[in-house]
Structure 1
Amino acid sequence: MTDVIVVGGGPTGLLLAAELKLAGVDPLVLEAADSTERRTRSLGLRSINTRSGQTLALRGLAEPLLAAQWAMFDRLSADSRPDRADLVALLVSAVRQGRTRGHFSGLPLLEDATGDPADYIMLRQHVLEEILADHATALGVRIQAGREVVDVTDDGTGVRAVLADGTTLSAAYLVGCDGGRSTVRKRSGIAFPGTPPTMTGRTAVAELADPDAVTSSLRSPGGLLDLSLVPGEIATIEFNGGPGERDTPMTAEEMQASICRVSGEEATVTRLEAGIRYSDNTRHAETYRHGRILLAGDAAHVHSPIGGQGLNLGLQDAVNLGWKLALVVRGHAPERLLDTYTAERHPVAARVLRNTRAQVALMRPGPQTDALREVISEVLTIPDAKRHFVAMANGLDINYAPESAHPLVGRFMPALGLDDPALLCEGRGVLLDLAGSSWTHSAADGYADRVRVVRARGGSSHDLAAVLVRPDGYVAWASSQDDPADRTGLAGALAGWFGSPAAVTTTA
């Protein structure tokens, strides 16, 4: 029996499997599509926002991600038409300077000062998947393509997955990372309430008879037209109530008609190689766990892709769930630890669904929306307001413990001025002793396989004596002084997040 079956080999499933393996359990990834089919769906660019970039850096992935980004930008610069070259150069310059933080409904979010280029990375999705697959397989994760799961059953002691070819596989737990139309979610009976689509987006690899016949516009009377930064790609958005049959292949005639409706100009599509449709269908699973079946990524939440937050939401689901599920599978922690997954991630997704709905509303054609966009543009010139929007779009406002007595608990690990940037690369928690307190080391006795104790010699601007950091980079406990009460708090945090300590063997 496999420890955990991960259904879906997209970015969320691949990262989750790597996190599970890193934490000491055996996952199996089952992906319905083959690599060729997945690549044909990899249209447009995907953004890895600041929080996801910081998280992936904890696993040593910043360097390959950046290398892939620069290689992509070099190709875009070389292949772009002259009338697009300046736009590509402007984007590349902003990214290289570390100023880009995405956009809100097309309104750019740029930092005033230069920063770290790793804080916002842009890639094609299939390239990201290749990097994550290499990372997972290097750890020993098994990934099987062309394996479609058509049914799942939880009998209380394990989960059975039935494949399209009739094969049945068993595991202790199963996680559905199989997209917005998730078979796992449907078969497990988890409700998926939300709002129906109001727009139709189309992106295609296509050629126009006259490339100069139309120009990109965010504010056309009929919607949006983007002659993409990616050479050969064209995108449209129409606010017409959503696409009809999404599974039928897109035709050149369909894309041509959409371009003409949006732009109000005549255009002829002479060739269409591949195309996808999407909408702002917005839905949210009522829970991310039903017994031994869990959901992550688009299987748990779908929304408009405007703003580029869906990929990051899924990556953050994966790193939140992976270590928790591994602790339960290994018998170190009780199943109730899994309840913290929904408790922590559900509100984060709800905020993303809210702001993506707002972004769609802000893109609708019309003079009222034009006026609202002008107002929001003025708001974004206010430093505090821009920081709010940047934090919202980049996951920097996540706080898993807003009621905590210590302001750092529930927040992502702050920069502590330490010498070792890879403290969490092993996938274990880290207990940082910043004041040379011997009691922190004794409190962690029995957790050596789950928590690494580090005597930190670097300084800290946060006036910390000690801090316990979870494997996903979030602070589980912190102390600003050597107080007896804090010793009890540390013991409780260790037990609450990492389970019961192992027996400690002493020698005479």
Structure 2
Amino acid sequence: MVTDVVISGAGPNGLMLACELSLAGAHPLVVERLPERTLENRANGLVGQVVRMLDRRGLYERLTGTTDPPAPTPGFVFGAMPLNLSALENNPLHTLLVPQRRVEQMLEERAIELGVEIRRGQEVTGFTQHEDRVAIEVSGTAGPYRIEARYLVGADGGHSITRKIAQIAFPGVTVDHTISRTAHAKVPAELVDPADGGLNVPGYGPIPPLLHHRTEHGMFVYAPLPSSPWPLIATTEWGQEDAEGPLTIPELRASIRRVLGADIELGPPEGEGPHLRRKLTGGNTRLAERFRDRRVLLVGDAAHVHSAIGGPGLNLGLQDAVNLGWKLAAVISGRAEESLLDTYETERRPVAERVIMSTRAQAALIAPGSEVTGLRALFAELLADPGNLRRIADLMSGNDIGYAAGDHPLVGRWAPDLILDDGVRLAELTRDARPLLIDFTGGHWGRPQTKGRSAVPCTALLVRPDGYVAWATDVPQPDEKSRASLEAALARWSLTFTVAQP
């Protein structure tokens, strides 16, 4: 028996891909070397377009417990510089404070609901590609065995064994002059500002919560998160010698004194936890030479790694999975030619390149030194311009993503968050990951479709399964040219659409 797709890795990206494939009618199998979900929390929230993407799959509600749509965040940071987004018209930046382990749990539950098999304690150790399948070698608790699949997807992280076996180069740079220390810790209650939840540090002053705070000597973060009764305390320093052994509270406290020039009396957190203590030296910025080698594809960190500053990782990786899922399923079902898979890299590589550019720019802005302080002063002036602020917000959210262009400015862009006549949101119509044609003319496209009641910059549009616009038109009634352009879009993306009938 040949499985449709084997996904190596049951992290958020692998599980999201499994869900997308299942919704599109394919049958994925997930193998994961860890025997159970990790308790380590590698991220504390979601930033960017992915928040709205989860809403369009009904997964935002699972994480938040609310049926309300996501609301943009009024403020954020770029390179430890505050962004006041509250006055920005159509603010595109959304955030969701939820630990990565909760995201993984939710996605695993959803995948199992959709019938996905997840094999834990199993690791891909090798594979051989054939013309019509991949023979995959797996090491499990009961010994080695083989799986044959139409495709193999590596969602197995920055050290991806899938990428290495496929001999896909992973060029980039490694830096070793920074040390980041992060831990849950107890802080004196009298230091917490009851107004904003930040810290008032004796001998230094106020520090807002949840924001990167840069000084001439490093960076400090105080993050009280709803997922833990104890705040996360973090520092980043340049050019410091690393103390041997695991991170300790006294070591973190000494780092704070160097960064702030003031002391915070930290204590160890109480209770069972899990309590994070992590120390990272240096970091990698790398981009895979290619995202696909015949029947082997890469998503998430297997395809790209970068600094975590600004929280772009899950935004990038989860949308890799959503972009690939419907395309791979269409090829497996025979609805599309294999060439459709080429668009996965042509669309997602430029996005990864922009994330790498953004994180490198932010790394430059948080570095110590008077020259950087001067650069930050200039950058602050630039951010006072609403146009520049909009550009940064679009960059950090992914709202500036534009896939294949077309005859209409909406084509290739994220579909607007429309509300139809009966109050149904577009997000409620896209939960099955099917293409969707929405007609705002009242049925002139020959089907009893519902008009939109929110302001829309078109008369009809075709939404791809990943939430991006495949086709749009301004004509009040179909004519020969507009019908031909719709048929061309359907053929190009191998789409069979459903009709918006709330």
Q: 1:182 aligns with which of 160, 164, 167?
A: 160
Q: Report how many aligned residue pairs link the two structures.
A: 459
Q: Partner residue of 1:100?
A: 74
Q: Partner residue of 1:4?
A: 5
Q: Partner residue of 1:238?
A: 237
Sort the Cα spacing of 1:167 and 1:250 in 2 relative to 1 into closer, same or farther, 3 A: farther
Q: Partner residue of 1:134?
A: 109
Q: Partner residue of 1:493?
A: 489
Q: Distance in 2 between matches of 1:13 and 1:190?
A: 19
Q: 1:467 aligns with which of 437, 461, 481?
A: 461
Q: Partner residue of 2:272?
A: none
**Which has the higher mean CA deviation after the structures are superposed, 249-258 or 184-193?**
249-258
Whether the 8 Å contact between 2:93 and 2:393 is mirrored in structure 1 is no
Q: 1:229 aligns with which of 224, 230, 234?
A: 224
Whether the 8 Å contact between 2:4 and 2:26 is mirrored in structure 1 is yes
Q: CA deviation at 1:315?
A: 1.0
Whether the 8 Å contact between 1:220 and 1:263 is mirrored in structure 2 is yes
Letter paired with 2:52? Q
Q: 2:479 aligns with which of 470, 483, 487?
A: 483
| SS of residue in 2 equivalent to 1:491 | helix
Q: 1:173 aligns with which of 151, 165, 188?
A: 151
Whether the 8 Å contact between 1:435 and 1:466 is mirrored in structure 2 is yes
Q: Distance in 1 between matches of 2:82 and 2:41?
A: 24
Sort the Cα spacing of 1:276 and 1:159 in 2 relative to 1 into closer, same or farther, 3 A: farther
Whether the 8 Å contact between 2:216 and 2:370 is mirrored in structure 1 is no
Letter paired with 2:412? G
Q: Partner residue of 1:425?
A: 431
CA deviation map 1:357-376 (0-9, x unaligned): 00000000111111211221
Q: How does 1:45-194 map to 2 (within 5 A)?
A: 45-49=44-48, 51-67=49-65, 98-100=72-74, 102-113=76-87, 119-165=94-140, 166-194=144-172
| SS of residue in 2 equivalent to 1:312 | helix
Q: CA deviation at 1:96?
A: 9.8
Q: Distance in 1 between matches of 2:241 and 2:329?
A: 40
CA deviation map 1:69-101 (0-9, x unaligned): 99xxxxxxxxxxxxxxxxxxxxxxxx9974335
Letter paired with 2:237? E
Q: CA deviation at 1:195?
A: 1.7
Sort the Cα spacing of 1:281 and 1:428 in 2 relative to 1 into closer, same or farther, 3 A: same
Sort the Cα spacing of 1:34 and 1:392 in 2 relative to 1 into closer, same or farther, 3 A: same
Sort the Cα spacing of 1:276 and 1:214 in 2 relative to 1 into closer, same or farther, 3 A: farther
Q: CA deviation at 1:178?
A: 1.0
Q: CA deviation at 1:42?
A: 0.3
Sort the Cα spacing of 1:326 and 1:44 in 2 relative to 1 into closer, same or farther, 3 A: closer
Whether the 8 Å contact between 2:34 and 2:120 is mirrored in structure 1 is yes
Return the structure number with greater helix share. Answer: 1
Q: Partner residue of 1:384?
A: 387
Whether the 8 Å contact between 1:151 and 1:163 is mirrored in structure 2 is yes
Query: Where does the alignment leave 5 or more consecutive residues of structure 1 unmatched?
Result: 71-94, 442-452, 502-508
Q: Distance in 1 between matches of 2:20 and 2:84?
A: 32
Q: CA deviation at 1:148?
A: 2.3
Q: Distance in 2 between matches of 1:371 and 1:455?
A: 57
Query: Where does the alignment leave 5 or more consecutive residues of structure 2 unmatched?
Result: 192-200, 270-274, 498-502
Q: Partner residue of 1:349?
A: 352
**Which has the higher mean CA deviation after the structures are superposed, 299-308 or 488-497?**
488-497
Q: CA deviation at 1:189?
A: 1.0
| SS of residue in 2 equivalent to 1:360 | helix
Sort the Cα spacing of 1:255 and 1:150 in 2 relative to 1 into closer, same or farther, 3 A: farther
Letter paired with 1:405? D
CA deviation map 1:477-500 (0-9, x unaligned): 112112211222211111110169
Whether the 8 Å contact between 1:33 and 1:147 is mirrored in structure 2 is yes
| SS of residue in 1 equivalent to 2:485 | helix
Whether the 8 Å contact between 1:101 and 1:394 is mirrored in structure 2 is no
Letter paired with 2:77? H
Sort the Cα spacing of 1:175 and 1:68 in 2 relative to 1 into closer, same or farther, 3 A: farther
| SS of residue in 2 equivalent to 1:152 | strand
Q: Partner residue of 2:196?
A: none
Question: TM-score by structure 1 length?
Answer: 0.81
Question: TM-score by structure 2 length?
Answer: 0.82
Q: 2:449 aligns with which of 445, 455, 465?
A: 455
Q: What fraction of aligned residue pairs are identical, expressed as a percent?
A: 41
Letter paired with 1:471? P
Does residue 219 (structure 1) correspond to residue 214 (structure 2)? The answer is: yes
Q: Partner residue of 1:80?
A: none
| SS of residue in 2 equivalent to 1:150 | strand
Q: Distance in 2 between matches of 1:135 and 1:242?
A: 45
Q: Distance in 1 between matches of 2:378 and 2:114?
A: 50
Q: CA deviation at 1:161?
A: 2.7
CA deviation map 1:315-362 (0-9, x unaligned): 110110000000011111111000000000000110110010000000
Q: Distance in 1 between matches of 2:296 and 2:109?
A: 26
Whether the 8 Å contact between 1:98 and 1:116 is mirrored in structure 2 is yes
Whether the 8 Å contact between 1:228 and 1:234 is mirrored in structure 2 is yes
Sort the Cα spacing of 1:233 and 1:456 in 2 relative to 1 into closer, same or farther, 3 A: same
CA deviation map 1:2-33 (0-9, x unaligned): 21111111111111110000000111112222
